[in-house]
Amino acid sequence: MELWVILAIAAALSQTFRFALQKVLAGSTLSPAAATWARFLWSAPVVIAIMSAYVALTPATLPGVKTGFWPYALAGGATQILATICTVALFKRRAFAVGITFKKTEVMLTAIAGLLILGDRTDPLGALFIVLGFVAVLLLSKAPEGGSFFNKGAAIGLLSGIFFALSAVGYRGAVLAMDSDNTFLVAGLTLAFVTAAQALALGLWLALREPGQISETLKGWRKSSLVGVFSLIGSWCWFAAFSLQNAAYVFAVGQIELVVSLAMGVLFFRERPSARELFGMGLLTISITAVALIGSR
């Protein structure tokens, strides 16, 4: 099994546990923005310390950084903040597994963003499966109590997928802009810069716009620090995988997250997805997997 596949699976599993914890935090006294900030608050200083020790204690040297690193990294960090806020907000409206499935539109959207930004191409058959994926999203977007397909939950879920796709493309552009073959070093340095910027930016937002949320996050440090741990593991693995393989392929392997999130929703949150939602998740999984396979030919 190739290294990028192992990294993608590890990232997906870590991310699922992190979202489960954020669902719990968002269901308490924390706002979606504060529950999102928790992942950066604890992971930023840890990854900075790890990378400082790694550079000081090993023969590794700091790589050259191309100019494109900074806009790619900052754009990736900003869109990741927006994507995570959307996902946590979605958890307040929909079941855990369905919320994760909405987020997984990032895979097909990454194929589109990759074409527009990085030049990755998808053939007509791939485009057909992208359309199938949006049909699946429409199936999932119908609110449990009935009503229109085009509801607020659907909009939040699609925004999450769009922002995560842009974030992935930004991060892949950033790691490729570093002149080094050391996967651990490239991923770690990029993660250190991005998480520090995210912690500062979102912390400033909370201080100015959501008074009291910083103290609430700190009071719940036991749970919020676990969010940071799983975020650190997941992000490091994603970044490392992005340095080795196209982001769309990496996310396709990460579809194992769908199965894990469904199991967690049933076991921990006592959720029972409907037949329509299961069918939609199945169609979306087929669409995403097919897009990645077609793109790798």
Strand partners, 28: none
Neighbour-count burial of 56, counting CB atoms closer than 10 A to its CB (0-12 exposed, 13-18 middle, 19+ buried): exposed
**Phi and psi, residue 30, nearest 5°:** -90, 140
Please tell me the distance from the alpha carbon of residue 155 to that of residue 36, in angstroms, as a whole number. Answer: 19
- What distance in Å separates the CA atoms of residue 232 and residue 97, rounded to the nearest whole number? 22
CA distance 164 to 83: 5
To the question of pTM greater than 0.95 for the whole model, the response is no
Each residue's pLDDT expressed in tens, for the chain with a length of 297 residues: 678 878 888 988 887 777 777 666 655 677 778 877 877 888 888 899 999 999 998 888 888 999 899 999 999 999 988 988 887 777 666 565 666 667 767 777 888 888 788 777 666 777 787 778 777 776 766 555 555 555 676 678 788 889 989 999 999 999 999 998 898 999 999 999 999 999 999 999 999 988 888 888 788 777 667 777 887 888 889 888 888 888 877 877 777 776 666 666 777 767 777 787 778 778 877 877 776 677 566
Q: 147-176: buried (b, 16+ CB within 10 Å) or exposed (e) per residue?
A: eeeeeebbebbbbbbbbbbbbbbbbbbbbb
CA dist 58 and 60 (Å) reads 5
Tell me the H-state helices in the chain.
Answer: 3-26, 32-57, 69-91, 96-103, 106-113, 124-141, 152-176, 183-209, 213-219, 221-244, 247-253, 256-268, 275-295
